[in-house]
Every structure is written in structure tokens, then in C-alpha cells.
Structure 1
Amino acid sequence: MRIGSLHQFTEHHRYYAFRDFSLSAVDRKMLGLIYQSMIGAFAAGLYHLLYQQVADDRVGYSELEPQRKLLLGLGLEMNERGRQELVNQASRLEAVGLLQVTRLGVPDNDDVVYEYEVVKPLAPDEFFGSPHLALLLRDKVGKHSVIALRESFYAKEADELAGAELARENISVPFYELFRLNTQGFDPELEQALTEVAPARQPTPKPAQTETAGIQYGEIIMRFPRNSGNRAFVERLRGNDEAIAQLNYVAYKYSLTVVDLCRLLDEDDVFSAGGELLLDELQLRGNQLYRQDRKRKDERQRIYGRMEAVKAESGRNDAGIDDMPEEVAVQAEFYMDVPAQLAGRCDIHQYNMLMRNEPHTRFIARFFPGAVPEWLIRVFEVIDHNYRLQGAVINVLIHYVLGLNDSQRVTKTYIDAVASNMLVKGVDSFERAVGYVREQVKLEEDKERRRESGGAASAAPRRNGGAGASAAKGRRKPLIPIMPEAQSGAPLTAEEMEEIRRMARKLDGKST
């Protein structure tokens, strides 16, 4: 409770209590064993005193009364020392989330009214799931006592059921299977009556449950450096549910841990000069960290894949046996034509058997007379270890990008795009991969056919229509007439040639 001057908080100021719950047996046990150990018996007594201002079988508001009643109920003196003690104990309740105090100003009057909103204690799961509360309890009673207290709230399952693997089936009856409501419509009189008797203060609606990283403010501030320049800004996040929700959204979006989030909050330009959290800048840096972590993870997966392949190869060599998986036959309807690079080296049956059963590292080597380019090996290594495409699907992909004799397709970008398209379309078997390739080839042929037919149709009007056809298309540049070639006729005589020369000299100014 933040009170600037105790003259603003006296026994003459009025107050009222509000609560919208009733304590259960578990709640009372939480107050007696857990909360009282952290805040003390005096603060717990203040909580019960405020709770009892409203009848136990009701919820809502208490009567407006002077704070003298609170001081007398707690055995405090009517002086500055007693009021300060009341402020301190109320602050303890506020710190652990059991009380919220609001100062209300009365219009046209200098008097104020204090509202004490009593908050329900957390359930055992929620309490021990809050790191800052659990750590405070550990500091007060010790680690072993915390473990014993948590066990005291749970009734253990029978050993016969706990150790067995049982099939769970929900046999509960839904509401509309047992009850039938009157379908004539709603009763306007009942709706109006319920609205009139409804309390003026409605409970605050809970926000919609969204995916979150579940990081609490206590976890952030406990790991944040004390000598950081952003320490003061991070401390302001306490009680700011919106900012904490934004941090959890960024952490969930980019798979950040508490340590990663603290590292980002410690960087420059994450907070404005006024201490406001810059969400766009935080997301940008979180994305950079996410991409770096993903790149390192992909590299580790490829290295581990190489190591496993080497171990498996050495194991087969040491055992002297061939542990190759059993070959799978290919049906004739899924045969692919032998590419030009392998024509004459194998027939269509052998080629499809190799494509169906051979590892991609050996299959791709058959398309090159020497060594396979290093960049091509890395591209298919990523597809194998990171994209997790099956070996037969990768071989079909190799056939598609290398076996169709189109040099424009042998690029890293194109290969990665085709592999990504296969993943999106769920190509997870040899047969589906063959169907995908045939579909793509057919689409390309149709596109080429339309292009050729469109080119022929556009060329005809240019030959026949001339400027009129171009004008019909609405071309922007004007057509410039070209001097037609003169038709060949009889040769010029000597007199005509001399007349032409004389006219030329006259135009040049050499003669008159």
C-alpha cells in the first residue's frame, strides 16, 4: 500500500471490503499452512478480518464504516504508529496476491474512501507453479518443509492403480442427452428480472487462453543482471500483465528460454528512453536468435547423421555381412523412363529398382562421370537429415531435377523449392513421389503448349494487321513510318545524273 502521507490514511477515513468468493477447506488450509508462514500471523489475521466484513454465505460489498473498526479489531492504537502498522500488514497481503487496495475520491469533496478487495488464495498447483512464491516459502520454512507441505495437500492414488497401465474411456453423459429444454424461446420477463437483480460490479472476465511460454515475472527478475542498465526498466514490468504477456508471446513464438529472454532484455534499444518495451525490436532480435539456434541445430543434425552413417558402415565391414534392407519391387505402373545420362548402362527395370532401393548418396553419383559437386551433396544432406524425406523420395527428386536434362533446374534454390513442395503435399512414399513428378511434368507441358499457341496467335495479327492491330492492342509507342524501298526501274541518263549533281552542289551552297 503506497501512502504518501499518513494524514491521508487515518481512522476517520471510511472503507469497505469486497469479495466475490467463499473460502473452502483447501483455501483455509492454504492460508494457515502456506501463506501465514510467509506473511506472518498478524497479516493473516487482517485477511480474515476483512473477509468477515461480508457474511460467509454471501459475496459482494460490506457497509461503509470508518477505519477505526479495523484498528480496534486488530488491537492497534489510534495514532500514527498504529496506522503505519496497518499499512505494513496490508502491504504484505498485497505482495503475495491476497489483497488489492484502491483509493476512491468522492466528487465535490476532499474526502476519500478506501476499497479493500479480498482475493482468493491460489490453489496448491497454482501456488507451487509460481516460482517467486515457492522460493519465498522455501526461504521462510526450508526446502524439506516445502516438500512436506506440498505432499500434505494431495491424496495419493492406490498402488494398484498407480502401477497399472489402464485404458481410459470417458463414459460421462452429456447435458443434452439427458435433459430437454423448452424450445419456445427465451423469457423476456425473466431476462429483465435477472438483469435488475444482478450485482453492479461484475467479475472481471478472464482473458482467452492462448499459447504462451509460461514465463513469470519472478523468473525473469531472478535471472536478470543486477548491474544492467535495463534493470530499472525490467523491474517496472512487475504487475504489468500486458507486457509480461507480450514477452511470453515472443518467447513462445521463437522458442526462447528464460535465459534467452533475459539476454535480449539486457541489450540496448530494447526499451525506449521512457522505459517502454519496444516489442518490434524485441521480436526482430528474437527472430535473429531463433535463426541462429536453428542453423546450429541443423548443423549438429547433419554431423550426427554423418557419424551414424560412418558407424553403420564400419559395423557392416567389421561383421563381414551385408545389412542392407530387403529390396522392394516396383510395379510397372510406377516406372520412370531412364534418363539420357544412364541410357545404355541399365534398362528401365534396373533403373527403377535402383531408384527405389539405393541410398541417395550412391544414386546421385551415377549421374556424374566423376565426383559429385560438393554443393549438391550439401543440398541433399539437408533434405535427408533436416527435412526427413525418405530415401526413395529423395531419389525420385534426384531423377526429377537431374534426369530431365534441363540445366536451369540444377540450382540450390530450385531443388530446395521442390523438396519443400513435396513436404507440404505430404509426399512420403515412392509411389506418391512418382505421381508428383508426373503431375509436374504434365503441368509444364501444358504451360509450354499454351505459350507456343499464344505466341503463334499473337504473331498472326502483326503480320496481317500491321499498325491497325497494334493500335487495337493499345500500344503506347507510336508507329514510325519507314521509307519503303524504291522499285527498280530504267537506269538514269547522263543528263539526269548531271542535273542531280548540280542540285546537290546548290543545296551544299557551293554554287548558285
Structure 2
Amino acid sequence: MHWKELLPVDRLQVRSRGLLHEYDRKVLTMLYQPLVGAVAYSLYMTMWSIMEERSLSSETSTHHQLMNMMQMGLKQIYEERKKLEGIGLLNTYVKKEEDNKVFLYELQSPLTPERFFNDGVLNVYLYNRLGKTKFHSIKSYFEIPSVNVDGFEAVTSSFNEVFTSLHPSEMVPERNSETEDILQQTDNKSYIGRNESKGVEFTQRTDFDFDLMLQDLSDFIVPKQLLTQSVKETILKLAFVYKIEPLEMSRIVQQAYIHHEVIDGEMLRKEVSKWYTFEHGKELPSLSYRKQPVTLQEFHQKVPVTEEEKTIKAFEILSPYEVLEKVSGGGRPASADLKLVEGILFEQKLNPGVVNVLIDYVMTTNDMKLVKSYVEKIASHWARKKVSTVKEAIALARSEHKKYQEWHSSKDKGKPRKSTGSVRQDKLPKWMNNKKDQTEKISEDEWNAKQKQLEAMLSKYKK
């Protein structure tokens, strides 16, 4: 699917939104790399290196040259590029021409350490990824002691104490002179500078009902005018990170205003953090792909017809969290299950849609339980098989079902015993049934006739 978006012959140019400093390399390496991974980090650094040859803008090249430079396939470049876009390090623009496309990659400067550690999103995920000890170690690296000016007297001179103004006749250039043109900024040009990064941006979330939250808020407790645009954006971010429902968020906002008599981003972050700690303990949320990448979705722009195709589409558009929630009967997934799934996503590098198939298969065949060693063994097998799509995962689960059940019934963990011809007769997911049962009702004779017809065609083809 990535070939529909990008081709090796498509041209590219890299530019920077503003000056990138050497200090940014440390921020990218220590704060961003743990979140996006080494490959996405390498792609950013490669683009920066290409751009450095010509200051703030590179020469035009092709994606094939970028593939050769990074020794990486186009599909992986496309996926890693998406990570940089999502975390706020890259803006991508495309212009369609007759034969191909031209991509403009605009590198964004990373957040300053101060903004990063007070972001409320990135700092939470970094803490979860690194752990308490390493997180505090890195945080202290970027901290410096505050300057204490107590006991000092401010003696700094002001502008007008140092400089004086000239007579207007000495400052205004003559009409139509060359100096008048020089003082004007050139059209279609901008000055080199350090542009402040916007950081992580969120689209309007369709799964958080903001209107429902507003309806539940009492005007007697929280005046609506206090919910500024900045506060609303903070609420959406916190709801995304901590998976908070609208009514629960309404209670948190009301309680926060009662305690502090003010509503702002920093105060809301503290109140949500307290609520989450009380509900879930010290474990913080983890960062993961929400859904199967569009490039690996078979039914992104295709309407499913059969039951199996509808199942594939469901696994493609749902996140692993939502699948766990669904198989758990709508309840909040257990933290141990979430941590296990999080590990599979990042350690085994399996796509979310593939993990969805794995969750459904294991829980359905194992009395709705996720056994860590069993799940990790199957995940490792799928990773070695390079399973990347939902359809591939379903096909492999069908073909290897007997083997997986032998693994599960084996008393020696990690050592499957020899086949005895008997397999556990557990409940199976609906998609494990034969395709003919799901697509069309035909008689056994018709099915055998179709098989013979296929064998004849294969025989003719081999000849």
C-alpha cells in the first residue's frame, strides 16, 4: 500500500523551519529517541545531514538516493517518517506533477528541555519507557541551579540611558533612493532564526465526547468562560494519554476548581495525575500505535463483503487497547495485559492489527486469559515469520493452530513435547473456521468439484 503514497523516483527536498543547534542533537538523542526508536531518529539525523550541506535547505534528490544512503526499504522509510510527523519533528508537503511527486520535508526543532519535561504527554511516555531512575538521571542532566538574586541590587542600564535618538532628517532615507529599498524586506523571503517548536499536535478526537463533558459540568461550580481554548486542548490531551471518559473528566475538572478556584493546564495535569495514581497505582500510560498503519490496511479504501473481510477490517481499525476492552466485555483491561501487549508492540515490532489477531486468538482458545510466556512465544514466531498484515496473521494462526496448542499444553515451558496426535479442543475464534463456511453455502460435492478443477488447472500450468 505504501507504493500508492510514495515511489523511489519521487523527488524530495529537505529544509528546516529554523536554525537547528548542536544542543538539539542531545535533546533528540536523549529525549526523543527512546520514544520514536533508533531508526526514526536516524532518518531525522540523515535529513539534517543532507540539509547541512546547503545551510537551511538541501538540493533536490530522489527517495531512491535516500534509500541507498540509509540502506533501508521505501516501506520502512515511509513508516519511520510517520513517527517523526506524529511526534512533531517533521512536516511533510507534497506537490503532484505529471510524472511523479515532489516531497518537501520540513524539519522541526525539538522542544526545549523545559517544555518537554512540562509537556504532560511526552514526559509521561518517556517516564514509562525509561523507568524512574533513568528518567530522573536524564532530567537532572538538563537541569541547572536557579540564579538567586536575593541581596543583589539591579543596576542594569536601560536602552534610553545608553542610546540617544538622531534627528528625523538623519534617519529617514530620501524618497526613491536605494536605501529605501534596502530597508524593506524582500518578497518571498524570511529571516534565519530559531522558530519555537509547536510540539505534539492532536487532531479533534472523535472518541472523546467533549459536548457530553460540558453538559455534565455544573455552571454553579465551574463557569464555562474559564474553559478557554488552551484549557480545552489540555483536556483533550489528558483524555488521550490517560484514557479518561467524558463524565470522569467532568468530575476531575469540577473537583480541581473546587480545590484551587482556578482552571489552567498545569493544575489540570496535577489533578489528573493524582486521579490516575489513585485508580491505577504508580504505573503510567505507555505510548503505542493506536491502529494498524494505513499502508498495511487491506480495507482502508475497500468495502468488506464477507464475514472474514469484516473481521479483518475490524482488526485493522481497532487499537489493541480497544480489542482487549472488547474481549473483556467492555471493562477496563488489566494493567498486566496492557503491559504485555505494550511489550509485544515494541520489542517484537509487531503491528497493532497483527497484535489484535494474537490477542483474540489466545484469549478465545485459552479461557479468556493472556499467559505471558505463551503469548510471547507466538509473538516471537510471528516476528520471525515477518507477519505484518492482519490477513497474514489469520492465515498463520490457522496453519499453526495445532502446533500452538501443543506448546500451550506442554508441561515443560518453552519445550514443546512430541506430537501424540491429540490436540486441545478449545473454543476457537469465528475466523478460524474454513473460509468456505464464512463466504458461501455450497454442498460437499460442489466443493470437491471445485478442488478437482483447481488441481487440473495447476497440473496444466506445471506442464
For the aligned pair, the TM-score class normalised by the smaller chain equals 0.3 to 0.5
Q: Scaled by the length of structure 2, what TM-score is found? A: 0.41
Q: Scaled by the length of structure 1, what TM-score is found? A: 0.38
Larger Rg: 1
